Chain A
Amino acid sequence: MSVALTMPKASAQATAIREAQSVCASQPSLLVAGLEKSYAGGATPVFNDVSFAISKGQSVAIIGANGTGKSTLLRCCLRLIEPDKGCVHIDGADLTAACKTRLRRMRSGVGFIFQKHNLVPRLAVLSNVMHGAIARRKGARCWFHGLAPAAEREYAMHCLEMVGLADLAARRADQLSGGQSQRVAIARSLMQKPSMIFADEPAASLDPHAGEEVMETFRSLSERTGMTLVFVSHQVAHAQRYADRVLGLRQGRLAIDVEAKALDTSILGAFYG
C-alpha cells in the first residue's frame, strides 16, 4: 500500500483536476483525475485517463460491459488496488498521496459494499456491524460486540434498524439469506458514519426481489442521510432508477457521463454497440 504513484506531469494533473472539478458547483465529494491502471507491467491496460467529479449527496452509477474495469476503478478510488497514475481526492483530501495511517483514516470515512457481502461468517451480525467502527475506535473494543462500549452497541443496533434487520442482531452471519447479508454489510458501512458509500455490484449475487430491496435501502439511506453514493451495476434499469447520474466505461475510457433521466436507448445503443 505504500507504493508511490507515478503522477502525470504537474501541469497535466492540475488541468485534469480542474476539468473534472468543473462539473461540480462546490467542492466535490469524490474527484478522480487522470486515473490509469494496467496489469502485467502495462501490457494489459484496464482503464486510461479516467477523470470525473461527484458532488456531495449525488448518487452515481458506473455501467459498462464485463471486463471494462468498473470494479477495478472503484477499488482504485480507495487504493484497495493501487492505481498506476492519476489522483483521487475524497472531500478535498488527496487519497493517492496519503501515508498508511492517513489512508486508513480516510478509508474509514467511506463505506464499501462488496458484491459478495464479505461478512465474517462465524461471527454474530452485531459483531460484523461493530467492525464498521474499528478505525474510529482503536484497540480491541470493536472486535466483537461483547467487548464493545454500550454507546457503540446501541449505534450498531441503530444501523441495523436503518436496514430493517435489528431482530437478527444475535444471529450468525452465515445463517442469513443473500439479501439479508448485503443489508448487514450496508449496516456495517453505516457504522463507519461515512460521508460516501461505494458499492460494487451490490445486487449482482442476489435474486431480483432481494436486489431491488438492497437498492431501495440505498435510495432511502441516501435520501435520509444525504450521503454520496457511487455504485457499479450491470443492470441499466438500476442505474436509471436509483442514480442521479450515470458514468459508462468502455474500452478503458469514460465513454458516457450523463444525467440518469437522459439515459435513453440511443445513448445505450451507441454505448454497448
Chain B
Amino acid sequence: MADAQLRPILPQRMGRVEFLPALMFTAFIAFFAWSLHQAEVDIGELIAGIPNMARIGADMIPPATDRAVPMMLSLLVTFQMALVGTVVGILLSVPLAVLASSNHTPHPWLYTASRGLISLFRTVPDLAWALFFVASVGLGPFAGTLTIIVDTIGFCGRFFAENMEEADPGPAEALTAIGGTKLDIVTCAAIPCALPAMINTSLFSLEKAVRASVVLGLVGAGGIGVELSVSMEMFRYDQAATIVLMIFFLVMAVERFSSLARKRLFARQ
C-alpha cells in the first residue's frame, strides 16, 4: 500500500483536448479549405500549363542582346530610383522614429500620430502608392522614387523607433542627470546607441527598395520594369530573359554589398 502511494503518477499519452482550442483549430482548417477553393488552386491546370512554361522557357534561350545598352541604362535608372528613395526615406524616417519611440517622444499625441502615419505608409502596398503617385505626378521614375520614399519611411520608421526603444537606456539616463534636453539625449545617446541596428535596417531597406523598384516599372513608375512589361506584352521572351538576368545580377550585387557592409559593421563592434 505504501509502495503504491509513493509510485509517481504516469502522465497520460495525450493531454485532455480543450474545447476552445479544438474549435479554433477546426475553424482554421475549414477556412483554409475554403481559401483553397477561392484561390482556384487547380493541379490539373498547373499540369496543363507545363508545356506553355516549357515553350516560353525555350523562347527565352538564348537571351537577346540587341537592346542591351538601353536596358542597362534603364537598370541604372532603377538602381538610382532605389538609392535616392532609400536615402531620402531614411533621412525622413529618423525624426519620425524619434517621435514614434515611446521613451523619446515629446508627447503621447505625437507618439500616436507618428505611429499611425508609419503604419499607414507600411500597410498600404507599394503598388498602390505607385498607382497613386503615377496619377499625381505622371509616368516616370519620379513617381517610383516617391513610392520608395514612402515605403522606406514605413519600413525604417517602425524599426528605427524600435531600435531606439531597445537601446541601452544608461547613456540617456546619464545625460538626463547632467541636465540635457530631449534633443541632446536623442542626438548624443539614443541615436548613437541605436546606430548599428539602424544601419542594419537601412541596408535591408536598400535591398528591399531595389527589388521593389523593378516591379514599380510595371505600373509606369519608371525603370527596368517598363522594359520588362513591354517585352512580355510583345512576346519577346528572349529580351525578357535578358532583363530578368540583369535584375538578378543587380539584386545579387546589392545583397552582396549589403552583407559585406553588415559584416564589417559588426566586426568593428
> CB within 8 Å of B: which residues of A?
78, 80, 103-108, 110, 112, 114, 116-123, 131-132, 134-135, 140, 143-144, 174, 185, 188-189, 192
> CB within 8 Å of A: which residues of B?
168, 170-171, 173-181, 184, 187-189, 192-193, 195-196, 269
Q: Which residues of A are found within 8 Å of B181, using beta-carbon distances?
A: 104
A106 to B179 CA separation, bound complex (whole angstroms): 8
A108 to B174 CA separation, bound complex (whole angstroms): 11
Q: Are B192 and A118 in contact (CB under 8 A)?
A: no
Interchain Cβ contacts within 8 Å, total number: 74
Shortest beta-carbon distance from A229 to chain B in Å: 16
Q: Which residues of A are found within 8 Å of B174, using beta-carbon distances?
A: 112, 114, 118-119, 131, 185, 188
Shortest beta-carbon distance from A211 to chain B in Å: 19
Q: Which residues of A are found within 8 Å of B168, using beta-carbon distances?
A: 121
Q: Considering the complex of A and B, which 6 residue pairs feature the smallest CB-CB distances, nearest first? A: A135-B179, A108-B179, A118-B170, A118-B174, A112-B177, A107-B179
Q: Which residues of B are found within 8 Å of A131, using beta-carbon distances?
A: 174-175, 178, 180, 184, 188
Cβ contact of B195, chosen from A119, A122, A192, cutoff 8 A: A122
Q: Are A134 and B177 in contact (CB under 8 A)?
A: no
Cβ contact of A122, chosen from B173, B179, B193, cutoff 8 A: B193
Q: Are A104 and B187 in contact (CB under 8 A)?
A: no
Cβ contact of B176, chosen from A80, A117, A174, A188, cutoff 8 A: A80
Of B171, B173, B184, the most chain A CB neighbours within 10 A belong to: B171
A80 to B176 CA separation, bound complex (whole angstroms): 8
Shortest beta-carbon distance from B178 to chain A in Å: 6
Given A114-B170, A122-B192, A122-B195, residue A105 in contact with residue B187 (CB < 8 A): no
A93 to B269 CA separation, bound complex (whole angstroms): 44
The chain B residue with its CB closest to the CB of A132 is B178
Q: Are A134 and B173 in contact (CB under 8 A)?
A: no
Shortest beta-carbon distance from B106 to chain A in Å: 12
Shortest beta-carbon distance from B256 to chain A in Å: 26
A140 to B186 CA separation, bound complex (whole angstroms): 12
Q: Are A120 and B192 in contact (CB under 8 A)?
A: yes
Q: Which residues of B are found within 8 Å of A132, using beta-carbon distances?
A: 178
A122 to B173 CA separation, bound complex (whole angstroms): 16
Cβ contact of B179, chosen from A104, A119, A144, A185, cutoff 8 A: A104
Q: Are A143 and B171 in contact (CB under 8 A)?
A: no
Shortest beta-carbon distance from A54 to chain B in Å: 18
Known A134-B179, A188-B174; 13 more pairs at CB < 8 Å: A80-B173, A103-B179, A107-B178, A107-B179, A112-B174, A114-B174, A118-B174, A120-B188, A121-B193, A131-B174, A134-B184, A188-B178, A192-B178
A250 to B189 CA separation, bound complex (whole angstroms): 35
Cβ contact of B180, chosen from A110, A116, A134, A174, cutoff 8 A: A134
Q: Are B171 and A135 in contact (CB under 8 A)?
A: no
Could you show 14 A-B contacts with beta carbons less than 8 Å apart? A80-B176, A107-B176, A110-B177, A114-B173, A117-B170, A120-B189, A122-B192, A131-B184, A134-B180, A143-B187, A144-B188, A188-B174, A188-B178, A192-B179
